[in-house]
Amino acid sequence: MRILVRLLFRLRVEGIENLPAPPFLIASNHQVWYDTAFIAAAFPKLPMIYTMARRDTVFNRRWKRWLMPKLGVFPIQPRQGQLDETGVDTVYQVLRRGGVVLIFPEGRYSRGRDLRPLRMGVGHFALQAGVPICPVAISGVDRLRLFGRVEVSMAPPIRPDPPRWWALNQRVLQVVDNVRRAILTAFDVDGQPRAPGRLRSLPGRLRLRLRRRRAGALPPPG
């Protein structure tokens, strides 16, 4: 899959020097269901990168049930926004074996830089397992075409210190906020903003245009 992705698309990878040694978690924004293939192709030959996906939507066809495990995807069936016990146990088992787990903390698809609120799971996993988090920003897959460019940027790892038990929830919030900031920073890793997704809202476009005009990048109207 790694070779196929690199043959069919122009994959640009930045920040590879930021990778920690396994085990670690990857926390990425989430644009489409096949994000995983591009993120895995961007990483060097590590232990297999595992990730989770809903049983009722991603494992709902025979060919998917055959293909997904070969890509390191294991099924979960969350209830009321919470992971099932089997999914949680699988994450910890992979990390204990020195593996790598990819998590999409938004929980749903987003477009461009417009991240959804992040869920707390990535913070709990990192603190409980004592592993670093590698924040990743991926762009271009939401408007993918053959031989099109996809960019994967890796921010410096977040290494959360285990808190006292009474401070766990507060520490989780801090870790998740740091992950969000790191993903947004990774979009601008080379100093230039990435192209936004096609579904950016009208107010968002107007704010961007106003900022550029103030900076002298756009001529005044009329």
The whole-angstrom separation of Cα 91 and Cα 69 is 14
Enter the tokens of residue 50: 């595992």
Whether CATH 3.40.1130 fits 2-214: yes
The whole-angstrom separation of Cα 68 and Cα 219 is 50
- Percent of the chain topping pLDDT 90: 46
* Residue 220: predicted pLDDT: 47
* Residue 215: predicted pLDDT: 52
* Residue 205: predicted pLDDT: 46
Enter the tokens of residue 134: 């590698």
Could you tell me the pTM of the whole model?
0.78
101-130: per-residue pLDDT in tens? 999 999 888 887 889 999 999 999 999 999
φ/ψ bin of 121: left (φ > 0), alpha (ψ from -120 to 50), beta (otherwise): alpha
* Residue 112: predicted pLDDT: 79
* Residue 70: predicted pLDDT: 83
List the end-to-end C-alpha distance of the chain, in Å, as a whole number.
51
Q: Are β-strands 24-28 and 10-14 bridged in parallel, bridged antiparallel, or unpaired?
A: unpaired
Computed on alpha carbons and rounded to an integer, the radius of gyration of the chain in Å comes to 18
Amino acid letter, 64:
K
